[in-house]
């Protein structure tokens, strides 16, 4: 059972435009959500997180939105830059123990 799903395996965006990555989850007990970025031959790098008691968290060019009723979260990157090209993983946690990851979305920023 896939509790965290990223339904888009890939996304291509023009440099300077907005990138929107989506994630759905099924477990209503998740209380914390995170986004990680991964370059080839490197481990995932933490980007931004949001608690289930909030609906938005912003950090520079990155904003995460949480819609609990729809069990959906999204990551907005504005403006998109070539260095943002990577695989992005959505992850969720219940009780600060393990992280449950989605399958990842490969983001390509085109010049």
Partner 1 sequence: ETGVTQSPTHLIKTRGQQVTLRCSSQSGHNTVSWYQQALGQGPQFIFQYYREEENGRGNFPPRFSGLQFPNYSSELNVNALELDDSALYLCASSSGGRQNIEAFFGQGTRLTVV
The yes or no reply on residue 4 touching partner 1 (CB under 8 A) is yes
From the CB of residue 92, how many other CB atoms can be counted at a distance below 10 Å?
24
Q: Considering only residues 76-105, where is the footprint of partner 1 by CB under 8 A? A: 89, 91, 93, 95-104
Give the binding-site size for partner 1 (rule: CB under 8 A).
25
Question: Strand, coil or helix: what is 85?
Answer: coil
The DSSP line for 23-67 is EEE--TT--EEEEEEE-TTS--EEEEEEETT-SEEEETTEEEEEE
Question: Strand, coil or helix: what is 31?
Answer: coil
- The residue among 95 and 111 lying less far from partner 1, judged by its C-beta, is 95
The yes or no reply on residue 75 touching partner 1 (CB under 8 A) is no
Q: Considering only residues 15-74, where is the footprint of partner 1 by CB under 8 A? A: 32, 34, 36, 41-46, 49
Q: Which residues bind partner 1 (CB under 8 A)?
A: 4, 6, 32, 34, 36, 41-46, 49, 89, 91, 93, 95-104
């Amino acid at each position: 059972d896939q509790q965290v799903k990223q339904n888009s395996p890939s996304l291509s965006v023009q440099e300077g435009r907005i990138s929107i990555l989506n994630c759905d989850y099924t477990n209503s007990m998740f209380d914390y959500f995170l986004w990680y970025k991964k370059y080839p031959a490197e481990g995932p790098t933490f980007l931004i997180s949001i608690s289930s008691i909030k609906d938005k968290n912003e950090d520079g060019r990155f904003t995460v939105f949480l819609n609990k009723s729809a069990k959906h979260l999204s990551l907005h990157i504005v403006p998109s830059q070539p260095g943002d090209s990577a695989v992005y993983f959505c992850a969720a946690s219940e009780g600060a123990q393990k992280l449950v990851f989605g399958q990842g979305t490969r983001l390509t920023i085109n010049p």
